[in-house]
Amino acid sequence: MPLAYALIHEEGGSFGISFPDFPGCISGGSTAEEAIRRGSEALSFHAAGMVEDGDALPMLRSLSELQSDAAFSEMARDGVLAMVPFEIPGKSVRINISMDEHLIEMIDRAAAASGKSRSGFLAHAARSTLTLGDVSNEVIKSGGSSRTTIVRDATSGKFETISPRSKRVAEKKKA
């Protein structure tokens, strides 16, 4: 996924997000994280609309190019700079997957309730999981029940080693 620079501004307890390379594309949220998540969705929607209308997507500028832009420098003075992932629409490809039949039934009900096709619902769920803040911790390497597990924290991206002893201690604390 490409990344676009965004400016986040806080005003009155709410956060707004704008994209210097995509004028008119804005979003917001009650937290900076929510603004980034919603901004990613808005930018993906904005890019899809541009492609659908036959408009060329702008070239994404580097940080040094943005900093040399006087208008950007003025806007950035009181804001926070973030890099936000967005999706450029591509061609749909047919795939074949296996899944628990009860899960498929639940997906079909949820898709129907939201007015989406099964494919559309699954694509939306995958996009939501792949955007910032919506992925759970990822197990990188697990040596089985008696060995060490390496986990990547989804929020920080840092790796953590979990020994069998620390797993037992954590399980006892939960109980």
Q: How far apart are CA 138 and CA 89, in angstroms?
A: 26
**Cβ atoms 8, 32 nearer than 8 A:** yes
Sequence-distant (6+) residues with CB within 8 A of 96 are: none
> Residue ranges per domain, the chain?
3-90, 92-135, 138-174
Q: Which CATH number fits domain 3-90: 3.30.160.250, 3.40.50.2020, 2.60.40.3120, 3.90.79.10?
A: 3.30.160.250
**Cβ atoms 118, 135 nearer than 8 A:** no
pLDDT digits (tens, 9 = 90+) for 39-90: 999 999 999 988 888 888 999 999 999 999 998 888 888 889 999 999 887 7
Beta strands 14-18 and 138-142: pairing type? unpaired
pLDDT digits (tens, 9 = 90+) for 74-133: 888 888 999 999 988 777 788 999 999 999 999 999 999 999 899 888 988 886 776 544
